[in-house]
Structure 1
């Protein structure tokens, strides 16, 4: 693994930075204040990105949007390469330097797309590879413990009938489809949990409310109920067979894709805070001098050094997890390490920069206070900090989920 940015991905990174700086930043505060208002400015941007994705697919380069493209890359490439996982991570770091909420609400860039990419078959990729897919896992009684899911999917001929409630579904109202986690037989425990693609407008699927949140207010977060919601059996992602020995490793594979993505978001917003903090401090005559010994540096500067070290560790862990996924290496432990480190670092860095700058950082005149609010969710969704540490411990100690809770 080489740590310099791949040459073929540099144009994408540059384009993502331009979007972050010239599209996201100017409207960031507007949609933070107008929660649940749809950012119409993103429609034109989505069309441009679709064109970029189409061109990238034809040239064989990675891109972040299409699940079908991500799957196809894995099949076509041999040897060491940087594919869609690395592309997504590097692009999202830049976009979230602009605004995390807006990055989350980009059409056809949903977390459900990663679920489709992870386990969909060829026919499903053809149908769902270019839709905008949200992901519905969390329930009122099942948050970080995904095995506690109570939503059911009962087989009925060529269909499944889904009943249950999902909360905190990112892009749940705006997306074209929702990837729903449900149990096909609750008596068999976690092994019976499967994921289903439920398309928008399916009878029995209802968005009952939009949540008001601390941060990422540009992104809609929905509560959805499923009442005798009938979906074709062909919409089940992965195998329909319930393998008690395997558990629900198939659906959990989704997280190996999405956790580095969330880590990349955290890396992006943390860098935004660091960059702006340095700029403001420079205006007050406080600048880092990396040649000067730490013990003789300004106390504010020494704290910045610590934040920079945390940020760099998070960035490298994120790149490693994405690189492993692109190269077909099991990355469950590394995905959780990246998510745990980046989520915690982003929280500490964004809040720390607000504190270092005092009233300047706390005021709405700067986006620093918004970044501090936005960063919190990145340590929660796709598995909380505590869950990530538990997963890493299980992998390191060779324990099962039953042995180490």
Structure 2
């Protein structure tokens, strides 16, 4: 495995790190305190991010469809494309602020869903749309197959009824990718995703949630009541396949889980760097010239955390590389998300502890990073769900056999 970052992404990484340091961090505390206030400073970066995504061939931000980016379309050799670029860019942006990274127009998680399963016509139509993703319901959280929101065929439309909660950018986005079932009696095979554009009659934002972290990002509860959506807005294949119907929808997670893992790596990297800076400033040895047993306990712990974070980073890059090269990456995506989510949260919390009062106060961003990191171990599938998915795949068990 070649462990160096592809050189063609160096300008992207440099630019994203500049944004994190010079734009995100200076306004991070401002929007943490002013929850639900829209960060207008980010509008100018929407155009910059659009430029970063030019040539991706997948429309919008986020990971690209497996069959569209790499071996699946007849290309040969190694490919580092949209998935790798998205992960590397978000690692750097989240060194600044996770909530602000989630608030950049046209960079929503729904864009990754569109890229994963949309057809060519839909990619062209929704390529410049800022799309949120609505999966979770009051009675269906980690078990996406338990979705109760319905989509009933009616002429040239589907009529959507149900409620979605914890929709990231649900109020600000131009559209919401809604997961709904075509027939509850057929279980998970009938679950499809639909693009519902903002302003569609019957779609109502009920409230915005107050949260522990990522306060710069709005998190909405949305109600759908006889909401009519054109059939052309159903993403992917409208046919119900008992064997692989849900697999198409789940491919969205194969794309977005490495993205969320990258976010966790970014915020944990920021916390480690700041902690080393603070501890070095009071005379603690944080270099690598001594064996760990000859180092102060805090220095040794920092190095162990760095090793854990590097393992998470390599798992994440592997999952992104597999997607870019047309290789099924469901297990690897879950491994990356499970490792990075857990390690990222543990590192940020431990950095707060190591820096004592400085870490706990608001003079530094350490306490904020620890709050922001928690969501990265929850959304796009919790830690426990990732481990369950990995166990099922490794043991060859179905969801009914291993719960």
Cα pair 1:152 1:183 within 8 Å, conserved: yes
Q: Which residue in 1 is equivalent to 2:11?
A: 11
Q: In 1, distance between residues paired with 2:385 and 2:174?
A: 30
Cα pair 2:147 2:180 within 8 Å, conserved: yes
Q: Which residue in 2 is equivalent to 1:38?
A: 38
Q: In 1, distance between residues paired with 2:116 and 2:383?
A: 23
Cα pair 1:343 1:385 within 8 Å, conserved: yes
Alignment of 1:266-305 (within 5 A): 266-305=264-303
Q: In 1, distance between residues paired with 2:200 and 2:355?
A: 50
Q: Please state how far the C-alpha of 1:107 moved relative to its aligned partner.
A: 0.4
Cα pair 2:209 2:218 within 8 Å, conserved: yes
- Secondary structure of the equivalent of 1:168? strand
Alignment of 1:4-403 (within 5 A): 4-54=4-54, 57=55, 65=61, 73-74=69-70, 75=73, 77-403=75-401
Q: In 1, distance between residues paired with 2:361 and 2:385?
A: 33
Gaps of at least 5 residues in structure 2 are none
Q: In 1, distance between residues paired with 2:172 and 2:67?
A: 24
1:305-352 CA distance string (max 9 Å, x none): 121111011100000000000000010000000000000001100000
Provide closer, same or farther for how the CA distance between residues 200 and 122 of structure 1 changes in structure 2, counting only shifts above 3 A. Answer: same
Q: Please state how far the C-alpha of 1:288 moved relative to its aligned partner.
A: 1.8
Q: TM-score, normalised by structure 1?
A: 0.96
Provide closer, same or farther for how the CA distance between residues 277 and 63 of structure 1 changes in structure 2, counting only shifts above 3 A. Answer: farther
Q: In 1, distance between residues paired with 2:187 and 2:331?
A: 23
Q: In 2, distance between residues paired with 1:14 and 1:81?
A: 21
- Secondary structure of the equivalent of 1:141? coil
Q: TM-score, normalised by structure 2?
A: 0.96
Answer with 238-247 or 328-337: which moved more.
238-247
1:81-138 CA distance string (max 9 Å, x none): 1000000000000000010000001100000011111110011111111211100000
Cα pair 1:66 1:130 within 8 Å, conserved: no
Q: In 2, distance between residues paired with 1:25 and 1:326?
A: 31
Runs of 4+ in 1 over 3 A off after TM superposition: 51-54, 60-64, 66-78
RCO comparison, higher one (Cα < 8 Å, 6+): 2
Q: In 2, distance between residues paired with 1:376 and 1:177?
A: 26
Q: Root-mean-square deviation (CA), in Å?
A: 1.7
- Secondary structure of the equivalent of 1:382? coil
Gaps of at least 5 residues in structure 1 are none
Q: Please state how far the C-alpha of 1:290 moved relative to its aligned partner.
A: 1.9
Cα pair 2:66 2:324 within 8 Å, conserved: no
Q: In 1, distance between residues paired with 2:372 and 2:167?
A: 16
Instruction: State the number of aligned residues.
Output: 401
- Secondary structure of the equivalent of 2:192? strand
Q: In 1, distance between residues paired with 2:185 and 2:169?
A: 31
